């Protein structure tokens, strides 16, 4: 009797930027994907451990042979580590805080390159992490005398680039050191880290 073969192939090739932009949505799917992979693995082990007589019995009764093949990802060890859920050096922020940072980026740096927009997000997050600034995103942004655009935040209309900048600051490769907490057109102080686009980024003041 003619045998028929079926191959079930499972491939997952997530986009790195998609993980950054839709991290929370992918996290909800992670458990389901892991369960599916576990079931496939168990099924493969059972098939491999089955006796030859059992296989022949199945073939004799049905005339069907089912082959389950799990394809190993074509990634290096470093790429496999990258595929895991990224970790933030700042801890977690809420959706409201992400929205607030994106609005500030829109107002302060929407004409800047992606690196410059990410750097603005990092300045805000660096301040939250610093000892001499408010300990929340809202507190930092609305601190008196700091962000002149704060009054215009309700009218801001951030787009994909601004949300991507927040996610890159949280989970991507950092642009700024943690102690860079100022940006302006002319430089906040003489301790300059560098310039990106039209903004000069500066380190913390020396506090006594």
Reading the chain (208 residues) residue by residue, the pLDDT tens digits are 566 656 665 555 554 455 555 555 554 456 556 656 565 665 666 555 554 444 444 454 555 554 545 555 555 555 554 556 678 889 999 999 999 999 999 999 999 999 999 999 999 999 999 999 999 999 999 999 999 999 999 999 999 999 999 999 999 999 999 999 999 998 888 899 999 999 999 998 764 4
* Residue at token pair 């005398």: 145
Domain span at residue 129 reads: 95-203
Q: Which of 83, 117, 133 is the last residue of a domain?
A: 83
Q: Which of 25, 48, 83 is the last residue of a domain?
A: 83
Burial 159-180 (b: 16+ CB within 10 A, else e): eebbbbbbbbbbbbebbbeeeb
**Has residue 41 been placed in a domain?**
yes
**Has residue 190 been placed in a domain?**
yes
Q: Do 14 and 74 belong together in one domain?
A: yes
Q: At 188, which CATH number? A: 1.10.10.2520
**Has residue 65 been placed in a domain?**
yes
Cα 74 from Cα 77, distance rounded (Å): 10
Cα 128 from Cα 149, distance rounded (Å): 18
Cα 126 from Cα 101, distance rounded (Å): 12
- Rounded to two decimals, the pTM is 0.61
Judge contact between 20 and 86, C-beta under 8 A. yes
Predicted pLDDT at 51: 46
Q: Do 11 and 56 belong together in one domain?
A: yes
Q: Which of 83, 107, 142 is the last residue of a domain?
A: 83
Cα 17 from Cα 164, distance rounded (Å): 8
Predicted pLDDT at 204: 87
Predicted pLDDT at 187: 86
Cα 26 from Cα 10, distance rounded (Å): 17
Q: Is 94 exposed, middle or buried (0-12, 13-18, 19+ CB in 10 A)?
A: exposed
């Amino acid at each position: 009797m003619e045998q028929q073969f079926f191959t079930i192939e499972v491939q997952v090739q997530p986009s790195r930027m998609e993980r950054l932009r839709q991290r929370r949505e992918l996290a909800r799917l992670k458990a389901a994907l892991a369960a599916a992979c576990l079931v496939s693995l168990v099924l493969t082990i059972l098939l491999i451990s089955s006796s030859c007589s059992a296989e022949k019995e199945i073939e004799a009764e049905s005339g069907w042979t089912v082959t389950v093949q799990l394809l190993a990802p074509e990634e290096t060890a470093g790429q496999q580590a990258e595929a895991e859920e990224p970790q933030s050096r700042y801890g977690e922020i809420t959706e409201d805080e992400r929205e607030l940072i994106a609005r500030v980026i829109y107002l302060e740096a929407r004409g800047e390159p992606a690196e410059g927009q990410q750097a603005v997000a990092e300045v805000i997050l660096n301040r939250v992490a610093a000892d001499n600034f408010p300990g929340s995103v809202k507190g930092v942004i609305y601190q008196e005398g700091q962000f002149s655009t704060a009054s215009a935040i309700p009218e801001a209309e951030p787009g994909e680039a601004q949300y991507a900048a927040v996610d890159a600051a949280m989970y991507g490769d950092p642009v700024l050191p943690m102690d860079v907490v100022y940006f302006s057109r002319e430089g906040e102080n003489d301790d300059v880290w560098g310039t990106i686009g039209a903004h000069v980024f500066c380190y913390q003041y020396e506090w006594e």
